[in-house]
Amino acid sequence: MNQHLAKIRNIKKIDYNTPLLVPSFSSKGFPHVKDLHNYLKEKLTEVSLISAYDLHYEYFELDQIYESDILIIDSGGYERNQEHDISDIYNSLYIAKEWNKSLYENQVKMLQPITDIILVNFDYQEVYPLKVQVQNAKEHFEKFPVFASDFLCKPSSKNDIFIDIDNVIQCIDLFSHFDVIGFTEKELGNSIFERARSIYRVRQALTSAGLDSPIHIFGCIDPLSIALYYLCGADIFDGLSWLRFSFNGGTPTYFNHYALNYGLSDRPDNEVKILGYVENLEILAQLKSKLITFSQSSDWEDLYLSPREVQEIKLILTRIMKSFE
């Protein structure tokens, strides 16, 4: 019996199969994101993510966002909040502009179903019990029935910084209302092992409830982390680290290192980054193909990981399995 839970799953509303590795764009840390998006949009053939917050404040041109087959519209909570994601290398002071449910919904009303759109529910600053979160999301998605629903699950107590996975499992039937179930990576645990175990537990609970809904991990686009979480049952991954690091060689590195390693030391920094971004998109596409092949074969060689990486992932999966004994 395979230890992994990797599987090709379907986003039923738009009839599109996972896995999805989603290049995200944000004004947070990337003030010139409009120029960046305009330059790269023709490369975004399958899927991309932008936030309603950035649309509202015109960091993107509304008629230029429909280039990919699937467009994920995030809630804007990341841009509104002070905290940063796991891959952020700057962690500098960030001052957000006004953002609330009314501004969010007004912006969503302006979206056109030119391409398939997956909509993330509004991310409240207030903390609500999980059942209230679900009810709020249901009411929100009912206003926009043409879009696929991506429910972002948040901590349910103001004293908690992590998701209460036991509570999620107890309420797992409530998730049947949504096309996709989402979690922010950093809220799933305080270590890679804990986050992997949380994903594994949620996937098992969904399967036991007869639900095959894809799991979306927000803020995770690191290739090796994707491989681990995919084997634990996650399906959709997005993040900004593809704009912060070069993925060439499978290990995220600073763009200065990338320039030196590939003979680009005479190229301007901006040109080096653009070359790296385009290459990262190709690497993510290749990784998707590897994940699909592995999910069908369960042959570890199909992942093209190093022996050390395979050993570590297998160890994590074994530890997870033993924790249920």
Rounded-to-integer distance, Cα 43 and Cα 36, Å = 12
Q: Say how far apart CA 299 and CA 245 lie, in whole Å.
A: 29
Q: Are 86 and 238 in contact (CB under 8 A)?
A: no
**Cα torsion at 72, 77, 78, 83 (round to 10°)?**
-160
- Chain-centroid distance of CA 211 in Å reads 20
How far is residue 11's CA from residue 213's CA, in Å, rounded to a whole number? 7
Q: What is the pLDDT of residue 1?
A: 46
| Tens digits of residue pLDDT in 197-251 | 999 999 999 999 999 999 999 999 999 999 999 999 999 999 999 999 999 988 8
Assess whether pLDDT exceeds 90 at residue 264: yes
Say how far residue 188 (Cα) sits from the centre of its chain: 13
pLDDT in tens, 108-132: 999 999 999 999 999 999 999 999 9
Side-chain half-sphere exposure of 127, counting CA atoms within 13 A:
10
| pLDDT level of residue 319 (50, 70, 90 thresholds) | very high
Residues 308-323 have a mean pLDDT of 96
pLDDT of 89 reads 53
Pairing state of beta strands 180-184 and 215-218? parallel
Report pLDDT digits (tens) over 65-102. Answer: 999 999 999 999 999 986 655 555 555 555 789 999 99
**E strand residue ranges, 164-212:** 180-184
**What is the mean predicted confidence (pLDDT) over 154-162?**
93
Residue type for 208, please?
S
Instruction: Report residue 80 CA to chain centroid gap.
Output: 18
- Residues contacting 147, CB < 8 A, separation 6+: 13, 73, 111, 113, 117, 118, 119, 141
Burial 133-158, CB ≥16 within 10 A → b, else e: bbebbeebbeebeebbbbbbbbbbee
Q: Using pLDDT thresholds of 50, 70 and 90, give the confidence band for residue 142.
A: very high
User: What's the average model confidence in pLDDT over 148-170?
Assistant: 96
Cβ-in-10-Å burial (0-12, 13-18, 19+) of 104 comes to buried
pLDDT tens, 49-73?
999 999 999 999 999 999 999 999 9
pLDDT of residue 158 exceeding 90, the answer is no
Share of the chain above pLDDT 90, in %: 91
Mean of pLDDT over the chain = 94
